[in-house]
Structure 1
Amino acid sequence: MNSIRFGLAACTVAATAGALALVPASAGAEPVTPVPQLQVERYLGTWQQLAAIPQPFNLVCARDTRANYTLNPAGDITVRNSCTTWSGGPNEITGVAKVKDTATNAQLGVSFRGEADPRTNYVVTAVDPDYSWALVVNPERTSGFVLSRTAAVDAERWAEIRDAVAAAGVDSCLFLTSPNTGGYEEIVPLCTV
């Protein structure tokens, strides 16, 4: 039964990712708006992924997707992403994030391939005042992540998150929830949570 459920979930994720590839970014859309000021020191640490717009690189992840951010000696941010795969094993990748907009600190270029000057591909568009959750999208609105300090959030937080996704100009149905131990266990469109 579990292998059928995982197989169906993987097919759903793959189908959604394929459909997203067909949805072009709107040329006339307003630029993504970053938060007015991201306090990088408060943003560092470990985040759980609660939902994401599926991307080819994260289709291997079945559950417990995490991002850990630390400052490195060069003053950039070391990004360590990890998850549990569909076969139950670990998966991990490490990269670097560079702040591209020092006025807000909320627009970064994240690279897992060692580019010296990655383009802006990570915009923090919402962060809770206590830094308990955050929303990140790319400028084209084709990639996005809902991050939380905890694996579980209540109904009120889910509503705040959906409102933040809408404010960023993204359809919350494009995000799929990410199963987390101790949190939401299903893979469903965020608009249905």
Structure 2
Amino acid sequence: MGLRTLATLIVLIAMMLLLACASNPTHLPPLRSSATIDLQRYMGAWHVIGRIDYFGERGDFASEDVYSLDKDGNVDTVYRYRKGFDANSPVKTLKSVGLVQPESGNAYWRIRFFGLFKADYLILEVADDYTWALIGQPSRKLGWIFGREAVMPDALYAQLLDKMRGYGYDTSKLLRVAQVPEQVGKPGFHE
């Protein structure tokens, strides 16, 4: 190995270490859930009320996950969304499967997209009446606030942001998702 190759390798390793440290600036341990989820009650439609922005959902409006149990105990998921509220923005869908992990109280799923890609899905907390849920990932890079109703009162949303903060999330990264046209352009909602 030449000196130039070794120097390049050292720079790349240093950059990777810096990025790893920057991805969890608070140096918190991986997120875990102590929730016990009744899967039958959890099934159905959940509106995405708030989320951390990322490429997979960027620009989505009126988004929701619709869950149903399959015969094997996995969770079939249909993600429905629009790119706007006008007539030229039809509802689109994306399907995935949630593999409920053993001994997790049904709170930890491995989501499989297109049969190839996997992602962590961690139900942090759910309301006693299953009207809202907080979803995260062990790395805290992604997070969601779900509601059964399309429109969530501001006071409840603020309480749920506090709960997310308690799980170690930087809630300034959470954006509200416009579920109805009247929410578009309001403060705190994504563009």
TM-score band, normalised by the shorter chain?
A: 0.7 to 0.9
Q: Distance in 1 between matches of 2:168 and 2:102?
A: 21
Q: Distance in 2 between matches of 1:35 and 1:184?
A: 34
Work out whether 1:131 is the aligned partner of 2:133. Answer: no
Give 5+ residue unaligned stretches, structure 1: 1-21
Deviation larger for 86-95 or 42-51: 86-95
- Name segments (4+ residues, structure 1) moved above 2 Å: 25-28, 182-190
- The TM-score with structure 1 as length reference comes to 0.77
Paired residue total: 167
Give 5+ residue unaligned stretches, structure 2: 1-20
Q: SS of the counterpart of 2:158?
A: helix
Residue 101 of structure 1: how far off its partner (Å):
3.9
Letter in 1 for 2:137: N
Compared with structure 1, are the counterparts of its residues 26 and 98 closer, same or farther at alpha carbon in structure 2 (3 Å cutoff)?
A: farther
Q: Distance in 1 between matches of 2:66 and 2:187?
A: 25
Deviation larger for 43-52 or 181-190: 181-190
Compared with structure 1, are the counterparts of its residues 114 and 165 closer, same or farther at alpha carbon in structure 2 (3 Å cutoff)?
A: same
Q: SS of the counterpart of 1:56?
A: coil
Task: Identify the residue that residue 65 of structure 1 maps to in structure 2.
Answer: 63
Letter in 2 for 1:96: V
Letter in 2 for 1:90: V
Letter in 2 for 1:84: R
8 Å CA contact retained: 1:35, 1:127: no
Residue 155 of structure 1: how far off its partner (Å):
3.1
Compared with structure 1, are the counterparts of its residues 39 and 149 closer, same or farther at alpha carbon in structure 2 (3 Å cutoff)?
A: same
Task: Identify the residue that residue 17 of structure 1 maps to in structure 2.
Answer: none
Compared with structure 1, are the counterparts of its residues 154 and 60 closer, same or farther at alpha carbon in structure 2 (3 Å cutoff)?
A: closer
Residue 23 of structure 1: how far off its partner (Å):
4.8
The structure whose Rg is larger is 2
